[in-house]
């Protein structure tokens, strides 16, 4: 923890930094409006015959958003183009600003499978338009069917589409409406070439839908229902990132393989608006192999279009391709492929007969892939054995596998049916005859379900355990962690009993339970459960699997939360290379882990590592996310913190301002995450003594917290808002005013995060330090005693415990209880040497206080020696001068003055004053105190 020392020499203790910023994901657009020109009108139509430099020739199609025309550009070049004319009545000024922003971003793209957008504008009649590269082609699904492409050739075409989408993502463009009609196949050099069209159109025209507009605006404004990701179906504009396009690619792959999209278009569009949203968000489509097996007689035509026999169609999709498609279509985007390139690479693994990331790579599966890759060698080696036993064993094993798979499918189908029936009955509470006019809350439904799960499903443990697991997840999603915990514990018990302690479902419940325990601060339980989940998954699916990476990621995060930073670093050292192999070096999933690794390195004081890791995460995100994406803000924010800690305050301020600007545009000025970034920008200004710039930021944070939570709230964010304001008062030397605030913050911490003992101890430490500064020694000592009593909960190497011991030593020093002070300093010194290293600034801070103690005892030579050792450690640390160094120099100057060596004293105090002016500012209380001491010495 950063420490400073007061002019009196015992030390001023700044309050700790607040927690990391958590952000919601969202997108905004902006730009300027291009000029437009007058136009004539096409005879018999209200559409003009000419728009700007474009002469309309032939209408190619009409959709909910407008019309597409074949046109000729007249100037400055002559070429054939496609012009999309947006229907009348849209907000042209707003949309054109978006058009221009998108057009500028799209201009950066250069890929053979992306149709270029040349221009955007507004017609004379006020209708916005896009001008695009004219592509003579047909939708990819139609092309594949007309040419009867086998599955392998379809997959190769699909990989080209993924490559184009990845290129766009790296330029910060998300399509949002990937579907067959937006992926046309043309022929170049006698080879098919897919062209993705309408990049940017969906985003530029996006707006919140209502039930009135949903049926007319499907396909352009928000995406097409059959290919729309669950986060798009929310219709909030939040949580749309590149993984939304990955979902749409999964839906496209589903149709290329199975002949139909995941959801039946006719059934989906017959449903009401809310039902469409629900199905997209909640309903799981059948696997492609299951879908085609249900087609009956119609499967013959489908198989023929793939040059297959109907009997082999479903089997050709089972396994790899089912797994790949369903991973891309996962409702939880964190479980999807992290990027379009990762999806393409897994398809490539299937084509090369290698194990796919999406599949469970058990021994038999890997052996099967080995045989496929080395068919000739394996065949020769096994020829004799196969001759002897192939008939009997092959038939028997095939029959066993078939029956086992059939039983498993039947069990899964029956479980799903029972779960569905139970949920339907559960929601009958909203029926008017049941509700009787009352508004039924989600919590009432959950409580009703909880009781019925235990009573009605006691004899159906598989169904019961799935619902227990789901109930716990829902409670957790509502923030009702105490309610979630017992249901997840029960799910673990039931799954252990019914499925066994090595089943993947048991691992799922263990991991979900650990997530709740982590948030509640029950770290030891969470670690135990995550370790079990990790062992199960490694045994079940092998080491090289996304499920293993996911658990390892959560475990690494938990170690960071436990302040077991070295264990976290070891976990990250395993996780990062694993993810690089699984999802590729440019995947957003990897960037997220790099962010967590950087955060852990930050806490380890490996600040150069933290900088490099955060910068790498930021580079990946800048290549794949829009410039206003909140994940960028979060990474910029962390990078700023690392820069600040190594003394690069100017760079830190620039980065904090960048993060703040993104968050304000995306989240609005009063969002709590905006307040948190303002808080840390204010702290940076405080650190360098720019109090006039810090003050409005800290007051803004306090005002936002008061509006969001109220002055009597026990929410931890309100506690952090108060904490930030207390930092300002502290920096201004208004110590008495901070005591009441720190008392309130400590109370909030005990109520808001009762299991987070480290945070509670830290806030109690702030309160005790405030008492100490006001010389309220009895209250300070009793508060320190409360912290020391928590040693069993915190661990003997706790940072909060070490800080409390150091401050308690300062208290004893002020009371002239020198042996007690020495005892505390010695204990902290030993701990600092072990945790921070023998030559760290943390060690120097203890040596400094020991020097103050010796000076008070009249042992001047020993004091000088301790100050010298502290000075050398401070000067040996990297980065700009440390204000702690100035305090040590000031102590040395005062000691030399006491020894009647005024020339040396003045030189030491002058150097201390120079450092304080540079790091704290001329108006800081400690700077003024050193200036006064120097003036007094010079005038004597």
Buried residues in 650-670 as b, exposed as e (16+ CB within 10 A)? ebbbebbebbbebbbbbbeee
Distance CA(175)–CA(185), nearest Å, equals 18
- Closest by CA to 17, choosing from 1, 36, 40, 35, is 1
Distance CA(586)–CA(348), nearest Å, equals 17
For the four alpha carbons of 283, 289, 294 and 295, in that order, the dihedral sign comes to positive
Q: Which helix (H) or strand (E) holds 132?
A: strand 128-133
- Closest by CA to 22, choosing from 590, 596, 565, is 596
Strand-pairing partners, residue 72, are: 55, 80
Strand-pairing partners, residue 188, are: 191
Catalytic residue, from 29, 145, 177, 505: name it. 177
- Closest by CA to 346, choosing from 155, 168, 171, is 155
- Here the tokens at position 708 are 């969001």
Are 242 and 624 within 8 A, CB to CB? yes
Are 513 and 492 within 8 A, CB to CB? yes
DSSP per-residue letters across 788-848 = HTTHHHH-TT-HHHHHHHHHHHHHHHHTT-HHHHHHHHHHHHHHHHHHT-TTSHHHHHHHH
- Closest by CA to 743, choosing from 721, 727, 719, is 719
Give catalytic status of residue 177 as yes or no: yes
Q: Which residue has the tokens 């598989």?
A: 462
Strand-pairing partners, residue 192, are: 187
Strand-pairing partners, residue 4, are: 12
CA atoms within 13 A on the CB side of 146: 9
3-state secondary structure of 924: coil
What is the longest distance spanned by two Cα atoms in the chain?
A: 109
3-state secondary structure of 122: strand
The DSSP secondary-structure symbol of 437 reads: T
3-state SS of 257-322 is HHCCCCCCHHHHHHCCHHHHHHHHHHCCCCCHHHHHHCCHHHHHHHHHCCCCCHHHHHHHHCCHHH
Q: Report how far apart, in Å, the C-alpha atoms of 86 and of each of 59, 119, 122, 138, 214 are.
A: 13, 14, 9, 22, 16
Distance CA(221)–CA(203), nearest Å, equals 7
Other Cβ atoms within 10 Å of 338 Cβ, number: 27
Distance CA(555)–CA(526), nearest Å, equals 9
* Burial class of 778 by CB neighbour count within 10 A (0 to 12, 13 to 18, 19+): exposed
Q: Which residue has the tokens 């799954």?
A: 495
Q: Which helix (H) or strand (E) holds 695?
A: helix 691-709
User: 76 preceded by cis ω (within 30°)?
Assistant: yes
3-state secondary structure of 184: strand
Active site residues: 177
């Amino acid at each position: 923890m950063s420490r400073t020392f007061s002019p009196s020499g015992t030390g001023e203790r700044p309050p700790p930094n607040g927690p990391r910023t958590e952000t919601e994901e969202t997108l905004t657009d902006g730009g300027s409006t291009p000029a437009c020109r007058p136009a004539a009108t096409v005879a018999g139509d209200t559409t003009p015959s000419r728009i700007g430099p474009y002469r309309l020739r032939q209408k190619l199609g009409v959709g909910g958003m407008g019309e597409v025309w074949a046109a000729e550009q007249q100037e400055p070049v002559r070429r054939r183009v496609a012009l999309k004319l947006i229907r009348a009545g849209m907000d042209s000024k707003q949309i054109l600003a978006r058009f221009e922003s998108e057009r500028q971003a799209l201009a950066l793209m250069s890929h053979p499978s992306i149709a270029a957008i040349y221009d955007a504008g507004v017609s004379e009649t006020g209708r916005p338009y896009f001008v695009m590269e004219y592509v003579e082609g047909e939708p990819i699904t139609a092309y594949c069917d007309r040419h009867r492409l086998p599955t392998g050739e379809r997959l190769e075409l699909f990989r080209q589409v993924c490559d184009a989408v990845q290129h766009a993502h790296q330029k910060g463009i998300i399509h949002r409406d990937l579907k067959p009609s937006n992926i046309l196949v043309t022929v170049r050099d006698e080879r098919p070439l897919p062209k993705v069209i309408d990049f940017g159109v969906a985003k530029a025209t996006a707006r919140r839908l209502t039930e009135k507009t949903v049926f007319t605006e499907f396909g352009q404004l928000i995406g097409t229902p059959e290919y729309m990701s669950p986060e798009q179906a929310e219709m909030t504009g939040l949580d749309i990132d590149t993984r939304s396009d990955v979902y749409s690619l999964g839906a496209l792959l589903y149709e290329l393989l199975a002949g139909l999209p995941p959801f039946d278009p006719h059934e989906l569009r017959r449903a009401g608006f809310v039902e469409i949203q629900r199905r997209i968000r909640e309903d799981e489509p059948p696997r492609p192999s299951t879908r085609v097996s249900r087609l009956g007689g119609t499967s013959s035509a489908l198989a023929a279009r793939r040059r297959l026999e109907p009997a082999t169609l479903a089997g050709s999709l089972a396994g790899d391709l089912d797994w790949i498609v369903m991973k891309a279509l996962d409702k939880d985007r964190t479980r999807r492929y992290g990027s379009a390139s990762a999806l393409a690479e897994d398809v490539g693994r299937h084509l090369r007969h290698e194990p796919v990331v999406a599949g469970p790579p058990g021994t038999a599966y890997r052996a099967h892939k080995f045989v496929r890759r080395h068919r000739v060698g394996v065949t020769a080696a096994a020829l004799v054995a196969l001759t002897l036993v192939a008939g009997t064993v092959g038939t028997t094993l095939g029959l066993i596998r078939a029956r086992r798979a059939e039983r498993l499918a039947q069990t899964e189908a029956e479980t799903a049916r029972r779960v569905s029936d139970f949920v339907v009955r559960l929601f009958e509470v909203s029926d008017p005859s049941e509700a009787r006019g009352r508004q039924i809350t989600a919590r009432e439904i959950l409580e009703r379900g909880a009781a019925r799960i235990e009573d009605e499903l006691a004899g159906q443990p598989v169904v019961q355990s799935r619902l227990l697991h789901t109930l716990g997840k829902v409670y957790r999603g509502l923030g009702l962690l105490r309610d979630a915990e017992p249901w997840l514990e029960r799910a673990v018990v039931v799954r252990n009993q019914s499925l066994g302690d090595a089943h993947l479902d048991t691992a799922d419940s263990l991991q979900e339970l650990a997530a709740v325990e982590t948030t509640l601060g029950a770290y030891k339980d969470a670690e135990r459960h995550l370790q079990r989940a990790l062992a199960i998954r490694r045994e079940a699916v092998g080491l090289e699997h996304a499920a293993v990476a996911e658990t390892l990621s959560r475990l690494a995060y938990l170690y960071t939360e436990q302040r077991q930073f070295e264990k976290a670093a070891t976990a990250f050292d395993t996780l990062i290379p694993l993810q690089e192999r699984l999802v590729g070096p440019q995947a957003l999933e990897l960037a997220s882990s790099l962010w967590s690794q950087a955060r852990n390195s930050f806490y380890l004081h490996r600040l150069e590592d933290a900088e490099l890791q955060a910068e790498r995460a930021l580079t990946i995100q800048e290549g794949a996310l829009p410039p206003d994406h909140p994940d960028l803000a979060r990474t910029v924010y962390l990078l700023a913190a690392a820069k600040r800690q190594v003394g690069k305050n100017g760079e830190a301020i620039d980065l904090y301002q960048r993060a703040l600007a993104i968050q304000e545009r995306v989240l609005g000025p009063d969002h709590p995450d905006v307040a948190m970034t303002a808080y840390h920008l204010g702290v940076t200004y405080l650190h360098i003594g720019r109090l006039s710039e810090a003050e409005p930021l800290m007051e803004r944070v306090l005002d936002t917290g008061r509006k969001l939570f109220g002055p009597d709230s026990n929410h931890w964010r309100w506690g952090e808002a108060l904490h930030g304001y207390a930092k300002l008062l502290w920096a201004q030397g208004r110590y008495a005013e901070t005591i009441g605030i720190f008392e309130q913050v400590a109370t909030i911490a005990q109520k808001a995060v009762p299991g987070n003992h480290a945070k509670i101890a830290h806030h109690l430490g702030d309160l005790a330090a405030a008492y100490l500064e006001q010389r309220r020694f009895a209250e300070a000592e009793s508060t320190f005693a409360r912290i020391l009593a928590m040693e069993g909960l915190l661990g003997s190497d706790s940072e909060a415990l070490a800080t409390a011991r150091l401050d308690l030593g300062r208290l004893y020093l002020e009371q002239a209880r020198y042996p007690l002070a020495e005892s505390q300093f010695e204990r902290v010194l030993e701990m600092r040497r072990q945790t921070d290293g023998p030559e760290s600034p943390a060690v120097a801070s203890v040596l400094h206080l020991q020097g103050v103690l010796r000076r008070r005892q009249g042992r001047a030579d020993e004091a000088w020696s301790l100050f010298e050792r502290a000075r050398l450690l401070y000067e040996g640390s990297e980065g700009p001068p440390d204000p702690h160094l100035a305090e040590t120099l000031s102590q040395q100057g005062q000691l030399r003055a006491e020894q009647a060596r005024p020339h040396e004293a003045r030189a030491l105090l002058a150097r201390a004053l120079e450092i304080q002016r540079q790091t704290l500012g001329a108006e800081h209380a400690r700077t003024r105190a050193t200036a006064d001491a120097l003036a007094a010495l010079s005038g004597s």
